[in-house]
Amino acid sequence: MSAAALVEAIGLGRRYRLPRESLLSPGAVVQALDDVSFTLQAGTTLGIVGESGSGKSTLARLVMALETPSAGRLCFEGRDLHALARATLRDARRDFQIVFQDPFSSLDPRMSIARTVAEPLEELAHVGRAERRERAAAMLEAVGLNAAQDLDKVPHEFSGGQRQRIAIARALVTHPKLIVADEPVSALDVSVQAQVLNLMQNLQQRLGLAYLFISHDIAVVERMADDLLVLQHGRVVERGRPADVLHAPVHAYTRRLLAALPRPRWQA
């Protein structure tokens, strides 16, 4: 690639040691992620597909610098994220934020929406209280909520789709360059899912965001992603443009995923 990538993963690996089962022998080691490499350009979307245990969420945690890799490097704008000093890393965090799957458990039920959305700003010392509230209001408007009405409400007053919008507003409040979205619409109803996907595409165009978009739903990933990685047992088994990967899958696992999609009885 000519331009420096926003995110570059080189031979990323992560091992976990399981709790030991006997007093005398050490626990078994699980290779959750093994030799994963990719680049993600600014303003584009990398889709990650795979089933439970494929390493999708481990990858999200490494990209978010919530865990350190056992092997390889993860560079954000050319800097090795896991080699940064603590204070530098904390500052760098404003550039990457995460949206989780379940908008019911990812928001603090006792915190007002204003505080929830502005919370990431508390780490950035120079943003005062009034400005925090102002920026929270702007973000709520950006995700299609009514700031004047909603700032002082608490999460239970919102539907699932509105909560996911709030989670997106919180992720946007630091003006990040990357949002890691871990199954962001899986818990939502079909019609609400469509609204949130449209919103994410719209925000990407307006703000030049990059997404690392994790999903088990390949139709959703095809819609959102410019590039696609298929993960199985922690390894990349197939990669490419979604249309190519999904219409002419090469790896047996990708074929199996596609074959498992339900087909109408009258076409069987």
Partner 1 sequence: MTTLLEVNDLRVTLATAHGPADALRGVSFTLQAGGTLGLIGESGCGKSLTALALMGLLPEGADVAGSIRFGGRELTALDDAAYSALRGDRIAMVFQEPMTALNPLHPIGRQIAEPLRLHRGLDASAARAEALRLLERVQLPNAERRLVAYPHQLSGGQRQRVVIAIALACGPDLLIADEPTTALDTTVQREVLDLLDELRVASGMALLLISHDLDLMAAHVDRLAVMYGGVIVESGPTRAVFERRAHPYTRGLFAARPRLGTDRTMPLATIAGRVPALHEMPSGCAFADRCTLAIDACRSAPPPATMVGDGHFVRCIRWEMAS
Q: Which residues bind partner 1 (CB under 8 A)?
A: 51-52, 159-161, 189-195, 197-198, 201-202, 216-220, 222-224, 243, 246-247, 256-257, 260-266, 268
Question: Residues in the chain, how many?
Answer: 268
Q: Minimum CB separation from partner 1 for residue 191, in Å?
A: 4
Answer yes or no: are the C-beta atoms of 155 and 145 closer than 8 Å.
Answer: no
The pair of structure tokens assigned to 37 is 């490499």
Min dist CB 163 to partner 1, Å, is 12
Task: Compute the distance between CA of residue 98 and CA of residue 179 in angstroms, rounded to an integer.
Answer: 5
Q: How far is the CB of 195 from partner 1 (least distance, A)?
A: 5
Return the closest-CA partner of residue 54 out of 69, 34, 24: 34
- In terms of CB distance, is 19 or 262 closer to partner 1? 262
To partner 1, the closest distance from the beta carbon of 36 in angstroms equals: 20
Strands (DSSP E) contained in the chain are 7-17, 29-40, 45-49, 71-76, 79-80, 96-99, 178-182, 210-215, 227-232, 235-240
- By C-beta, is 105 or 159 nearer to partner 1? 159
C-beta of 74 vs 245, nearer to partner 1 = 245
- Pick 75 or 187: Cβ nearer partner 1: 187
What is the spatial distance between Cα 230 and Cα 5, in angstroms, rounded to a whole number?
20
b (16+ CB within 10 A) / e for 108-124:
eeeebbbbbbbebbeee
Rounded to a whole number of angstroms, the minimum distance from the CB of residue 133 to partner 1 is 26
Nearer to partner 1, 42 or 192 (CB): 192
